[in-house]
Amino acid sequence: MSSAPRSRLVAPFAAALVLASLTACSGSATAETESTDATRAVQTAYGEVEVPAEPQRVVAVSYDTPWQLAAVGVTPVAMQDYSAYADSFTADQQELISSVDTVGAFFDLNIEAVLAAEPDLIVGDVLEIDEATFEELSKIAPTAIFEGEYRGDWRAIGGSVADAVNEGDAFESAEEAYDEDLARVKEEYADVLARPWAAIGDGDVEGGFSVLYPGGSVGALFFDDLGAALAPSIPAEDGDKGWSYVSPELTTSVLGGAEIIVTGADPQGELSESLAGTVETPLFTDLPAARSGSVYGIWSSVTDYGTALAWLDSVEETVLVPESAS
């Protein structure tokens, strides 16, 4: 008997399998393309922008942006060169900046480097990215630039950055974790927080310092979030910068009413050369807070809820625990 009939049956069956396979592959490719090409609208400082629904290659073009992206699980493919500031970063932050391509430095963006990174989304804030730069970046890829109520307003800007990369849920989860721990700390150490505090940073002259107010990013952490009482000797803020320089001769009148003084510091708690000199001046060492050993260096470079939790842990361990025991 001839085997031709069997061959004629197998051939159509094989062809059907191939066709089904091709159809499945085509459907998968189409779905993947549709997913990749899908966009969503976000409101930015420069108007509404259509961004990828699932961005794959995000470039961070502002100083705080990489940490805000990393906090919601997104690693940028390129960011600024932070080598000049590496000592001011935590170990986790240093690990991130050591493994990513760079696109210029703070206030020195390299547009060609951004183009070379082949982004499908560019993210930053208005402090460094003006509208003209935004227009140039938008020629490369969808560009989402955000602003807050003040410089370093990491809550507003961080939330917008998270939304731009479609990670709003991750941002909200981090916010809830911070708020929960903050509430615990405020309740547990209410007596310490009710005492008069001052927060200071680097000054503009030898022996001087800057007073930090609730309207600035660092002052807001201590006096708004934590709810520490501002020392009555601190003068009213002149302007809305969130900080004010103080001359050395005014040390006693400005800081004399503070029982607790917190100063800026690096992640290891080391003061800058300027502040280290200030806290050793005779006027400063004669302050009530200095005489009682209540001057503390605290790393406060908060950019997102992850670093906010790290800051809160540091304040609790470094300041609140010893002060509550004294």
Q: What percent of the chain has pLDDT over 90?
A: 78
Pairing of strands 196-202, 209-212: antiparallel
The tokens describing 286, both together, are 């004669």
Over residues 78-88, the mean pLDDT reads: 88
Lookup result for tokens 């470039």: 59
Cβ burial, residue 70 (10 Å; 0-12/13-18/19+) = buried
- The predicted pLDDT at position 6 comes to 31
CB atoms within 10 A of CB 231: 21
Supply the pTM of this predicted model: 0.82
pLDDT tier for residue 33 given thresholds of 50, 70 and 90? very low
Least confident of 84-88, 117-121, 275-279: 84-88
Residue 115: is its pLDDT beyond 50? yes
- The predicted pLDDT at position 208 comes to 97
State pLDDT tens for residues 169-215: 999 999 999 999 999 999 999 999 999 999 999 999 999 999 999 98
Considering only CA atoms, which of 242, 187, 186 is closest in space to residue 218?
242
What letter represents residue 95's amino acid?
E
Distance of CA 221 to the CA centre of its chain: 14
- The predicted pLDDT at position 297 comes to 97
Residue 322: is its pLDDT beyond 50? yes
C-alpha angle with apex 246: 240 to 248, nearest 5 degrees? 175
The tokens describing 50, both together, are 């259509």
Q: What is the CA radius of gyration of the chain?
A: 27
- The predicted pLDDT at position 14 comes to 40
Residues in contact with 132: Cβ distance below 8 Å, sequence separation at least 6, in sequence order: none
Across all residues in the chain, what is the average pLDDT?
89
- The predicted pLDDT at position 37 comes to 82
Q: How far apart are CA 122 and CA 133, in angstroms?
A: 12
State pLDDT tens for residues 233-282: 999 998 888 999 999 999 999 999 999 999 999 998 999 999 999 999 99
Q: How far apart are CA 198 and CA 293, in angstroms?
A: 14
- The predicted pLDDT at position 83 comes to 87
Whether the Cβ atoms of residue 66 and residue 97 lie closer than 8 Å to each other: yes
Over residues 129-143, the mean pLDDT reads: 98
Residue 125: is its pLDDT beyond 70? yes
Least confident of 97-106, 208-217, 289-298: 97-106
The tokens describing 98, both together, are 């050591």
Q: How far apart are CA 100 and CA 79, in angstroms?
A: 7
Whether the Cβ atoms of residue 117 and residue 126 lie closer than 8 Å to each other: no
C-alpha angle with apex 223: 218 to 224, nearest 5 degrees? 90
- The predicted pLDDT at position 19 comes to 39
Q: What percent of the chain has pLDDT over 70?
A: 89
Residue 11: is its pLDDT beyond 70? no
- The predicted pLDDT at position 36 comes to 61
State pLDDT tens for residues 222-236: 999 999 999 999 999
Residues, the chain: 326
pLDDT tier for residue 2 given thresholds of 50, 70 and 90? very low
Residue 151: is its pLDDT beyond 90? no
- The predicted pLDDT at position 13 comes to 35
Domains and CATH numbers, the chain: 43-167 (3.40.50.1980), 188-325 (3.40.50.1980)
